[in-house]
Amino acid sequence: MQSRHPASRTGRPRSAAADTAILAATRQALVDLGWSKLTLSDVAVRAGVAKTTLYRRWAGKNELVVDAVAELFDELTLPDRGSLAADIEGVVLQFAAILARPEARSGLMAVVAEATRDEALRERIRASIVDRQKRLVIAGRTRAQERGELPPETDAERSARAVDLIFDMVAGSVVHRTLVSNQPADEEWVHGLTRVLLSGLAASAR
Amino acid sequence: MQSRHPASRTGRPRSAAADTAILAATRQALVDLGWSKLTLSDVAVRAGVAKTTLYRRWAGKNELVVDAVAELFDELTLPDRGSLAADIEGVVLQFAAILARPEARSGLMAVVAEATRDEALRERIRASIVDRQKRLVIAGRTRAQERGELPPETDAERSARAVDLIFDMVAGSVVHRTLVSNQPADEEWVHGLTRVLLSGLAASAR
Amino acid sequence: MQSRHPASRTGRPRSAAADTAILAATRQALVDLGWSKLTLSDVAVRAGVAKTTLYRRWAGKNELVVDAVAELFDELTLPDRGSLAADIEGVVLQFAAILARPEARSGLMAVVAEATRDEALRERIRASIVDRQKRLVIAGRTRAQERGELPPETDAERSARAVDLIFDMVAGSVVHRTLVSNQPADEEWVHGLTRVLLSGLAASAR
Amino acid sequence: MQSRHPASRTGRPRSAAADTAILAATRQALVDLGWSKLTLSDVAVRAGVAKTTLYRRWAGKNELVVDAVAELFDELTLPDRGSLAADIEGVVLQFAAILARPEARSGLMAVVAEATRDEALRERIRASIVDRQKRLVIAGRTRAQERGELPPETDAERSARAVDLIFDMVAGSVVHRTLVSNQPADEEWVHGLTRVLLSGLAASAR
DNA sequence: GTATAAACGAGACGGTACGTCCAGTCTTGGA
DNA sequence: TCCAAGACTGGACGTACCGTCTCGTTTATAC
């Protein structure tokens, strides 16, 4: 990830270690306290950093938590498992594994809730978290087209709509299963989801 | 809905009007301020009620907001539109319309986020909000079976799993579309969702 | 002294004990820390009172310190020592004794310094502290006139000017001796001051 | 005035202009903000100087303000006005004129207040400000003795006591008049003060 | 004329207090 | 017994300065 903060030519440079410590402390505080009881004072203490340092780098709790949670999703990959269904199952399982971690559970829904009233925050979430996952969807589809599992897409607009729908269905289903229904998104469940999704897309494309 | 609070034998009875006023004030505060900036003091002022009265009836902000939001979902119905697909589209559109209202957008995600760390709250949400919708899924399936669109279900456990999956897919997709992707769940989108879902279920059931 | 704060018809009444505790804590903090290092947070802790309680009753540090110091001067009296010179010496020694106490030393000069830029504070000091002492000057002169040590005053304006001059000379000399020159205003010094003052006034009146 | 800071053999020498700019900026900040709201950061900005430079030269706010205010008193002189009374009136009026300036009003009392708890600061004030004025008292008395207005002093200890008393009475009265009573120390008032003082000293010396 | 040593500007750092706000409790008088 | 009002303790908020520190840069003298 490129540097989060603009460089300054002069003056004492910002401590890079502080960023790391703050984000780690934020995640740990999410685990220990949850979003609503997390305070920036507490994060500062945990990170061994002054409160001012924290406010110098982030505008507030929401921005901080977005960045802290976003790092969790950096580990998502799309290994080639040989088929579209297997690829999807693989990445969904990874996604579910992240959502099962308490720092993600507590933080993600809360910032999404906050974002319902804050366009800038919504944009930050989309940029930091959502769009990165959408690239996985696109990559998966491309790979499937190369394999011949999906026909090459010609209609760009229609293609974009399909990606959006798939993305909302996959991410939404997993999030709802994990965070609302509070059930594990295990292999069996993911397998069912994938089957319904792929069958439906295939049938609906005809 | 049955009375929220246990009756007391003696003394001045609680004002029923206060409950109504408080919940309405809560929803309005959600619209004006969002969940995180909503304060019980403010709700008390809006409702023309003392803070004491409010604390006498609800344990805290989360419980109050759950009750206030839950009332929004009482209006969901499942009118017979003649086909399973049409029935689903109808109820999903109703659901999406509720989620488009700011008092629901702000409140619902926030309490779900809070619930990730609070079993009692999770239970309250499930009881007050989620299970009521799940009955719509079951009713829709039953009606479709009566129409012959779906085969009668024989395996109870498998049936429950299917209902859960459908429910997570429908609710999750709509929530994600509305609150995360921040796009309207309009007729066209709902139509696409329904088609993929039903095709997929039909294909996957074979 | 009349009540410092306006009464409210309704709601929980303010704790009278808190006022006492806060003013005593303020004086102790002046002793321990001095004016510039005295913080309202610290006073609140010492008084066993929440910071909000303190801010509810005083506008800020200056107002609080003025009230805390003013109470010190309530104990000034003008016992009849038989002659004008003895009366003056008596009250000046009392005044010097108060100024020798660290809570007065630290606080009084500091609020006077602050008052150079704050008309309201200046008025509060004059009302709470200065005018009370001026009455001692007037009482002393009246008693001396009754004794025949001073001629009855006929010219009101001239009289006022004389009182002001005496007051500035007495108070100013003692304060300067005590706080700037940092020497004790002991009996010998006060005796010298009184002799110069009375001789001068007598000679100058001719 | 001798150099405030020790010279260093090697390296870049300290900017002399910076000292001047800092002290002037301090006085202006005293005028604009008063002592308690004056911050060293602000002074640094006003002086066009980095905070480091300021801290390299002064230990803190008190020391800086003492030096800034002390410069104001360099302009006090004792021109020969022909008589002791006239000489005293002249210097007292000069003194009062300085005290009427806001940078002196705000700063002087505040550092005196601070000095009640700081022996080193007290000494710095005495050395930088007070003793310089005391020399005026001594010079005036010497001149009066040469004129024959005062008898030659023989008893050294008694003489010192008298100087101290006069000094405290003059300086204290003017300061109290100006800063506490908040009245102008104009010619009329100074005339009255001088008459009482000289008559009293003459009578008391007999 | 080039090293070198200190001062310089800029600004981040860990702290501390600010004055405000809200949570949740308690105390009054009145319905 | 409930109610409205409002004071209570407690604690986080986000801001402002403190006095220190770490940079890269400038500037006189000493070699």
Cα pseudo-dihedral D91, D95, D98, D102, rounded to 10: -160
CATH architecture of C16-57: Orthogonal Bundle (1.10)
**Per-residue confidence at C7, pLDDT binned at 50, 70, 90?**
low
Query: b or e along C33-57 (b: 16 or more beta carbons within 10 Å of the residue's beta carbon)?
Result: ebbbebebebbbebbebeeebbeeb
* Residues B5, C12: Cα–Cα separation, whole Å: 28
> C164, D181: Cβ pair inside 8 Å?
yes
Residue-level pLDDT at D132? 75
> Could you give the C-alpha distances from C2 to C5, C6, C7, D106, in angstroms and in order?
9, 10, 12, 32
CB atoms within 10 A of CB C75: 9
Distance between the alpha carbon (CA) of A52 and the C1' atom of F15, Å? 9
* Helix or strand run (H / E) with residue D188: helix D187-205
How large is the angle between the packed helices D61-70 and D40-47, nearest 10 degrees? Answer: 50
Q: Tell me what percent of the residues of chain B surpass a pLDDT of 90.
A: 50
A161 and chain B in contact, CB less than 8 A: yes
pLDDT of residue D40: 96
Mean pLDDT of the residues in chain A: 88
Q: What is the CATH number of domain D69-205?
A: 1.10.357.10
What is the average pLDDT across B35-44? 95
pLDDT at D37 over 80: yes
Q: Domain boundaries in chain B? A: 16-57, 69-205
Assigned token pair, D100: 């009427």
pLDDT digit string (tens) for D102-141?
A: 999 889 989 999 998 888 998 898 888 887 777 887 888 8
Average predicted confidence (pLDDT) for chain B: 87
Q: What is the pLDDT of residue A47?
A: 96
Tell me: pLDDT of C31 over 60: yes
Chain D residues touching C197 at Cβ < 8 A: 196, 200
Q: pLDDT (tens digit, 9 = 90+) per residue, C75-98?
A: 888 899 989 889 989 989 999 999
In angstroms, how far is F7 C1' from C53 CA?
Answer: 8
Nearest CB to D122 within list C35, C172, C182: C182
Count A/B contacts: CB-CB distance under 8 Å. Answer: 162
Chain D residues whose CB is inside 8 A of the C106 CB are 113, 116-117
Tell me the pLDDT tens digit for each residue of B66-107: 999 999 988 888 899 998 889 989 988 999 999 999 999 889
Mean pLDDT calculated for residue range D72-84: 90
User: Tell me, what's the pLDDT at A129?
Assistant: 84
Residue C12: predicted pLDDT = 86
pLDDT digits (tens, 9 = 90+) for C167-182: 899 999 999 999 888 8
| pLDDT value, residue C5 | 64
pLDDT above 90 (res B42) = yes
pLDDT more than 70, % of chain C: 96
Query: CB contact, 8 Å: A40 with chain B?
Result: no
Among the ranges given (B3-12, B29-38, B79-88, B179-188), the one the predictor scored with the smallest mean pLDDT: B3-12
C105 pLDDT higher than 50? yes
pLDDT interval class at B3 (50, 70, 90): very low
Average pLDDT over residues C118-139: 84
Q: Does B206 or A46 have the greater pLDDT score?
A: A46
Average pLDDT, stretch A157-163?
79
Check residue C151 and give its pLDDT.
82
CA–CA separation, B102 and B28 (whole Å):
9
Token code pair at residue A196: 């319904």
Q: A5: which nucleotide lies closest, measuring CA to C1'? A: E12
B10 to chain A, any CB pair closer than 8 A? The answer is: no
Question: Closest Cα of chain A to B102: distance in Å?
Answer: 8
* Tens digit of each residue's pLDDT (9 = 90 or more) over A46-73: 999 999 999 999 999 999 999 999 999 9
pLDDT of residue B12: 64
Which of the pair, C179 or B38, is modelled with greater confidence? Answer: B38
pLDDT of D4:
55
Q: Which positions in strand E are less than 7 Å from the protein's CB atoms?
A: 4-31
Interface present between A and D (3 or more CB pairs within 8 Å): no
So what's the architecture of A16-60 in CATH?
Orthogonal Bundle (1.10)
CA dist B76 and B92 (Å) reads 10
Range 55-114 of D in CB contact (< 8 A) with C: 102, 105-106, 108-110, 112-114
Instruction: Output the 3-class SS for B110-133.
Output: HHHHHHCCCHHHHHHHHHHHHHHH
State residue B11's pLDDT score. Answer: 65
Which whole number is the average pLDDT over C99-117?
Answer: 90
Cβ distance A177 to B172 less than 8 Å, yes or no, reads yes
One-letter-per-residue 3-state SS of chain B: CCCCCCCCCCCCCCCHHHHHHHHHHHHHHHHHHCCCCCCHHHHHHHHCCCHHHHHHHCCCHHHHHHHHHHHHHHHCCCCCCCCHHHHHHHHHHHHHHHHCCHHHHHHHHHHHHHHCCCHHHHHHHHHHHHHHHHHHHHHHHHHHHHHCCCCCCCCHHHHHHHHHHHHHHHHHHHHHHHHHCCCCCCHHHHHHHHHHHHHHHHHHHC
Does the structure show a pLDDT above 80 at C41? yes
Distance CA D188, CA D17 (A): 42
Give me the pLDDT at residue C94, please: 92
Residues on chain D touching C176 (C-beta within 8 angstroms) = 168-169, 171-172, 175-176
Which of the four pLDDT bands, split at 50, 70 and 90, describes residue B130? confident
pLDDT (0 to 100) of residue A151: 81
Dihedral in degrees, nearest 10, Cα atoms A64, A70, A75, A80: -170
- pLDDT tier at D3, thresholds 50, 70, 90: very low
Question: According to the model, what pLDDT value does residue B4 have?
Answer: 54
Confidence of residue C134 (pLDDT cuts 50, 70, 90): confident
Tens digits of residue pLDDT in D174-200 = 999 998 888 999 999 999 999 999 899
- Number of C-alpha atoms within 13 angstroms, CB side, residue B72? 27
C163: buried, middle or exposed (CB in 10 Å: 19+, 13-18, 0-12)? Answer: middle
Of A150-154, D86-90, D186-190, give the lowest mean pLDDT range.
A150-154
- State how far residue B11 is from chain A, nearest Cα, in angstroms: 37
pLDDT at D138: 82
pLDDT at A7: 67
Mean pLDDT highest for which of B40-44, C70-74, C195-199? Answer: B40-44
Contact B203 A203 (CB under 8 A): yes
Nearest CA in chain C to D105: C116
**C160: pLDDT strictly greater than 90:** no
State yes or no: pLDDT of A3 exceeds 70.
no
Over range D8-20, report the average pLDDT: 84
Q: Which residue of B has its CA nearest to A179?
A: B116
pLDDT of B172 reads 94
D103 contacts D163 by C-beta, under 8 angstroms: no
Q: What is the mean pLDDT of chain D?
A: 88
pLDDT of residue C2: 43
pLDDT tens per residue, range B156-201: 777 788 888 888 999 899 999 998 888 899 999 999 999 999 899 8
What's the confidence (pLDDT) of residue C167? Answer: 86
Select the residue from C118, C173, C194, C201 to test the D interface by mutation, using most D Cβ atoms within 10 A.
C173
What's the pLDDT tens digit per position in A185-199?
999 999 999 999 989
pLDDT in tens, A109-125: 899 899 988 888 988 98
Residue of chain B nearest A158, judged by CA positions:
B192
Q: How confident is the model at residue C1 (pLDDT cuts 50, 70, 90)?
A: very low
Looking at residue A1, its pLDDT comes to: 45
- Average pLDDT along chain C: 88
Task: Determine which of A95, A196, A206 to mutate to test the interface with B (most B C-beta atoms within 10 Å).
Answer: A196
